[in-house]
Amino acid sequence: MSGRDLLEPLPLLTLDNLALAFGHLPLFEHASLQIDPGERIALIGRNGSGKSTLLKAISGDVPPDGGSIWRAPGLRVSRLDQDVPLTGDRLVFDEVASGLGELGDLVAEYHRVAGHVAEDPGALERLGDLQHALEERDGWRLEQKVELVISRLALPADRPVGELSGGWRRRALLGKALVSAPDLLLLDEPTNHLDIDAIRWLEEYLTGFTGALLFVTHDRAFLNTLATRIVELDRGTLTSWPGSYPRYLDKKAAAIENEARDLARLDKKLAQEEAWLRQGVKARRTRNEGRVKDLMELRARRAAYREEGGTVRLAMDAGESSGKMVFEAKHVNKAFEGRTVIRDFTQRILRGDRIGLIGPNGSGKSTLLRLLLSEMQPDSGTIRHGARLQVAYFDQQREQLDPEATVADSVNDGNTTVVVNGESRHIIGYLADFLFPRERAVSPVKLLSGGERNRLMLARLFAKPANVLVLDEPTNDLDIETLELLEELIGGFDGTVLLVSHDRVFLDHIVTSTLAFEGDGKVTEYVGGWEDYQRQSRSQLPNSKSQTPNSKLQTANARLQTPDAKPQNRKKLSFKEQRELETLPPRIEALEGEVARLRGEADTADFYTAGADRIRFVLSRIDEASAELETAIARWMELEERS
């Protein structure tokens, strides 16, 4: 063995000829892959190709049918699944902290005790014991890591996970995976249900992650930022493509062209040999066993070749042209339980406008769409509709789908035919364009995966003429190929488009102007897509910085350190005051975190369906905790100056 071989690090994991099938359908055959330390690998492939199953096999949750998986000794693997099994009464903070293993219980208890110090002075002694235990085990760094992840994912730390929606439970599982610091991190669609700010933070976090990363995503900007290598799962085979996604596209196009030529040559040779074999007596007298054997091998090669899966075929009937004015909003206001989500909104949307809506989760984007569509009434102001509007509305909650209805009945209100661009088609043939075979078309909606439900929503959307497209998060769960086809279709649509999306590339390719939800109900229009918005907003706020969870404490520190601060007569701190001073920073941090989490909860789209008692509690607790925070900061400043 050479010296170089001795210096090369061992791989973390190696797949060798892995095989796995569900029923008669093989998901992958002869799949081989090596993952080295520090790699960031994007796993791509069509919906249903087996990406999620492969991650489960790598983590050891699904045994393969054949082949082998070698894992480095002591390898620690953490996986974020697409499914959301998380339930129960455990608090979100405790669930995220459990990713730390044994130390997570200590961190979780410290968080709970610190949050009750003000109400229970007797908790001070226990808090001191916990502080000492954390210091001994380097727990402060890990506790801060948990707080950071919870803050940046805007998680409601002190709510039971069982009370959260599926999207928020999935965020909690993502937080748990991130704090676990494994050698190999497996993430299945980690950007689903995240707003753009959270996605960008996740990109930064994972860029600095020292372990290896294998992730599945449909977000091309996220993929381009992180991936050092792309691995494609296509027709049961894993193929590695070093470099970025655009480089992969170039190489893949060339590979498909070569594959098509090879297949054409194989088919031509096979046809010639089959014709030879079918010749009469004279040919049989002259044929030789070697040639027959070669023909049998050709047949086997052709039979083993798995045809490339079908392509979604998207088409839309733009209907008649709408009037020049589509929507006109004047001084529109909308509030829920005293919290304003739309403030003095005035906008004229004209035929052909392509408008993107961006902002944090719960900021009011879906509310504005519902106001414009008259599904909700404003508290004040007016909204006018133009003439001859034919609206196709893609609802991110998929509320338009009846889970008990069949796929076919969900497309066109139970009719057996659809008319697209003047052509009448049977519903089964129409659904085949969206990759629903006959047996899937007659199955109930409740059996569909997330990606299949999105495809069904698109089939329903495009089954009727429309001159206004209103799309609320249409890209979730779609594979990249279908996403790009949808992008192409909308790009060629002649009508008006209103689009809510956290997919930055999708926004840049579709919209010509952007409505940004900037907090407190303020909605500002910017020319262009996401990148244009970024440039314009930065130029308007050159010195602005987003607040961190400790921003108020840092501001107080700065005030204490101001050179011209006037000296005061200091009285030495008593023992009790010294202990109080030690507990105030974590108390302040806990209150800041509580306020941020409650505000995050109040910003969610489903907050105002949680019941009147919960709504009143959250809104009143925000005011109470904010007052407690100001009092704690003032007391901390007073004691700090005297210490």
The string of pLDDT tens digits covering residues 441-479 is 888 888 777 677 778 888 888 888 889 999 988 887 788
Name the 3-class secondary structure at 567.
coil
Give me the DSSP letters along 103-151. Answer: HHHHHHHHHHHHTTTTT-TTHHHHHHHHHHHHHHTTHHHHHHHHHHHHH
pTM for the model:
0.69
Q: How many Cα neighbours within 13 Å face the side chain of 364? A: 25
Integer Cα distance of 207 and 230 in angstroms: 16
pLDDT at 30: 82
Integer Cα distance of 406 and 395 in angstroms: 19
pLDDT at 329: 95
325-537 has which CATH code? 3.40.50.300
Cβ atoms of residues 417 and 427 within 8 Å:
yes
Q: How many Cα neighbours within 13 Å face the side chain of 478? A: 26
pLDDT at 544: 40
Q: Where are the domains of the chain?
A: 54-247, 325-537, 551-642
Q: pLDDT below 70 — which residues of the chain? A: 1-8, 23-25, 82-88, 116-122, 165-166, 253-319, 396-400, 450, 539-573, 575, 603-612, 637, 641-643
Question: Residue 93 carries which side chain, given as an amino acid letter?
Answer: F
Question: Residue 243 carries which side chain, given as an amino acid letter?
Answer: G
Cβ atoms of residues 154 and 596 within 8 Å:
yes
| DSSP conformational letter for 161 | G
Cβ atoms of residues 78 and 182 within 8 Å:
yes
Q: What is the fold, at CATH topology level, of the domain defined by 54-247?
A: Rossmann fold (3.40.50)
Q: Locate 285 and state its tokens.
A: 């007298």
Cβ atoms of residues 163 and 86 within 8 Å:
no
Cβ atoms of residues 462 and 327 within 8 Å:
no
- From 483, 458, 305, select the one nearest 395 (Cα to Cα): 458
In angstroms, what CA-CA distances link 210 with 146, 207, 244, 357, 578?
Answer: 17, 8, 20, 35, 39
Name the CATH superfamily, with its identifier, for domain 551-642. Answer: Valyl-tRNA synthetase, C-terminal domain (1.10.287.380)
The string of pLDDT tens digits covering residues 556-572 is 444 444 344 344 444 56
SS (H, E, C) 458-478: HHHHCCCCCCEEEEECCCCCC
Integer Cα distance of 590 and 580 in angstroms: 15
Q: Locate 63 and state its tokens.
A: 């045994």
Cβ count within 10 A of residue 394: 20
Residues 6+ apart with CB under 8 A from 61: 79
Name the 3-class secondary structure at 455.
helix
Q: Locate 87 and state its tokens.
A: 């339930």
pLDDT at 522: 93
- From 105, 103, 151, 130, select the one nearest 583 (Cα to Cα): 130
Integer Cα distance of 428 and 412 in angstroms: 12
Q: Locate 581 and state its tokens.
A: 């001073």
* Relative orientation angle of helices 575-602 and 123-136, to the nearest 10 degrees: 80
Q: Locate 574 and state its tokens.
A: 């008593």
The percent of the chain in helix, strand and coil, each rounded to the nearest 5, is 45, 20, 35
> Which residue shows structure tokens 């495009």?
462
pLDDT at 605: 58
Distance of CA 442 to the CA centre of its chain: 30
Examine domains 54-247 and 325-537 and report if their fold is the same: yes
| DSSP conformational letter for 9 | P
Cβ atoms of residues 41 and 215 within 8 Å:
yes
